[in-house]
Every structure is written in C-alpha cells, then in structure tokens.
Amino acid sequence: MDSIEVHRLRYRKPASHMTILAQFFGILAIILLLVWLLHYREGIDIESDNPFRIFNVHPFLMFFGFIFLSGQAMMAYKTVRAERQVRKYVHMLLHLVSLCLGIVGLHAVFKFHEKQQIPHLYSFHSWIGIGTFSLFCLQWLFGLTMFLFPRASLETRARAVPWHVAGGRVLLFMAICTAVTGLMEKATFLELKLHNEARLINFLGLAILLFGITVDLSISLSRFI
C-alpha cells in the first residue's frame, strides 16, 4: 500500500463519521423545528387565515428547504462515491430545490408582514437573510454557467473552483447565522424565559449550528480522501 492510499485511509473514517453526525444533527433539527411549530405555534399552512400559521412556513422552509438541502448538496458532491459528472448534477439540482423552497419561505414571511402590517426588512436578521439568499442565487448561477452550462475553459474552471468552494462554505454559515438570529428574535418577541418552549428553541438553534459545523468538517476532511 503506497503512502497516498495510507493518507486517504487515515481521513476516510473521520470524514464518514462527520457525515453521519451531520445527518443526525440535521434530522434532529427538523424534528425539533416541527415539534416547535406544530405543538407550540399552531401549525404550518401558507393558505391559512391565521397569519401565524402562514409565518410558520418561513422557519420550516428556510431550514429544511434552504439550509438542510444545501448541506446535503455540498456533502453529495464531496462525500458520495459516484462519477464526478453525476455528483455535479445532484449538487446542482439539490441546490436548485433549496433555492425554490427558499423563495416560498421568503414569500411566507412577506405575506405574514403584510397581513400584520409589519414593515419589511427592518431587523438585522432580515438583512443577513436577504443578503445570504441573494448571494446564494448568484453562487448557483455562477456554478451553473462556469461548471455545467455552457461551461468555461479548463483553466478558468481551475481558477474558479477555490472561490466557488469557499463561497459555498461561507454562505452555509451565513444561512446558519440568519437562522439562529431569527430564532432568538422570535423568542424575544414572544418574551420566552424559563419555559419549555424557550429550551426547545435553544436546543433547535444548537442543532442547526452543529449541523453546519459537521457538514463543513465532512466536506473538509473529504478533500484528503
């Protein structure tokens, strides 16, 4: 066994463990989010006459549709053993689905604000969120045109890859920062203190943060496999 293969084997197990942990924290966050929205916050329905049920579409889709699926797209490209072109298409399609679900999630919160006559984009959370989503759209278009259709030259793609990878990781943590600030903002509005719902929100925020960290570790370690 040559030194390169030994080097790969050294990182394969930790990378697999981080991928499993990422799935665990992602699924845990989805479960906690659903418990919060369905048990404490009246449910999820974008067509409801209840504005708060409309709002609840926003946190669900912005995590499950945007953050969780984006993390899956990143790990699908870096950790799944398949042909490179297949991984590229899966990576692009998962990001496209997350983008579309993110649009619905943003529509839900704007609809809620209109029903409640609340100003749009007034908070730090909303500023980070809109900035992150706008950059995400640009990143997806950049990746599509640079690496798939119509695809740049080999030299240009080689120069663009580090920026594309770094940009994706930055956007993941920007999205997580947006989610966590949104949870804290909601808890403040609801004036939650030493209450089961407040504890649930704290554990939810922690699960989302750990999902992002383990996704990043998974794809970082996978570079050495």
pTM, 2 dp:
0.93
**Average pLDDT of the segment spanning 106-135:** 97
CA 142, 143, 148, 151 torsion-angle sign: positive
Please name the amino acid found at residue 123: S
pLDDT of residue 9: 57
Domain count, the chain: 1
Name, of 2-6, 13-17, 88-92, 191-195, the range with top average pLDDT. Answer: 88-92
Cα 126 to the center of its chain, rounded Å: 16
**Average pLDDT of the segment spanning 109-124:** 96
pLDDT digits (tens, 9 = 90+) for 131-150: 999 999 999 999 999 998 88
CATH number at residue 55: 1.20.120.1770
User: Looking at per-residue confidence, does 7 or 44 come out higher?
Assistant: 44
pLDDT of residue 193: 67
Cα 13 to the center of its chain, rounded Å: 24
Secondary structure letter of residue 217 according to DSSP? H
For residue 77 the two structure tokens come to 């490209």
**Dihedral angle, C-alpha 10, 13, 15, 21, nearest 10 °:** -150
| Listed residue (14, 58, 16, 54) closest to 33, CA to CA | 58
Integer Cα distance of 23 and 8 in angstroms:
22
pLDDT of residue 194: 60
| Listed residue (148, 172, 176) closest to 92, CA to CA | 148
Hey, how many other C-beta atoms are within 10 angstroms of the C-beta on 10? 12
Contact 68, 29 (CB under 8 A): yes
pLDDT digits (tens, 9 = 90+) for 23-55: 999 999 999 999 999 999 999 999 999 999 999
User: Residue 163 is part of which domain span?
Assistant: 3-222
> Alpha carbon of 157 to those of 39, 74, 107: distances in Å?
48, 18, 34
| Listed residue (99, 95, 75, 67) closest to 179, CA to CA | 67
pLDDT of residue 222: 85
Length of the chain as a residue count: 225
For residue 3 the two structure tokens come to 């030194």
